[in-house]
Amino acid sequence: MQNNFVWDDRLGISVPHLNKPWGTYDKALQAAILLHWEKIRGTIPDRIGQIEKHINELQDQLSSEENFEISCELNYKIASLASVINDLWLWYRLNQNISSKIHG
């Protein structure tokens, strides 16, 4: 079942990676995949919180930075981390429908 998930370094979580159409998996494997995803999905808000903390630290550095090049680097890092947060929320929200199948 682990083959159905791959680690995403950028997001800091494992994401689904299905090698064939969903309907071709037997019901037991579908249930196991959904349960595993629900566990991963439950960690996304905490992951977002970690990234937000890092963004806040970078913003604190930026507020006192006088070097233009370093300010640009800090802005780039903040924007990159904000992009990760956006993608994590997309995974979290898009897969609410999938997660509801566990209980349905």
pLDDT exceeds cutoff 70 at 14: yes
Per residue in 18-74, pLDDT (tens digit) is: 889 888 999 999 999 989 999 999 999 999 999 999 999 999 999 999 999 999 999
Close Cβ partners of 19 (under 8 Å, ≥ 6 residues apart): 3, 4
What pLDDT score was predicted for residue 94? 75
Close Cβ partners of 16 (under 8 Å, ≥ 6 residues apart): 4, 5, 33, 37
What is the pTM (predicted TM-score) of this model?
0.84
Per residue in 66-92, pLDDT (tens digit) is: 999 999 999 999 999 999 999 999 999
What pLDDT score was predicted for residue 103? 47
For residues 43 and 91, the answer to whether their CB atoms sit within 8 Å is no
Taking phi over 0 as left and psi of -120 to 50 as alpha, with beta for the rest, 7 belongs to beta
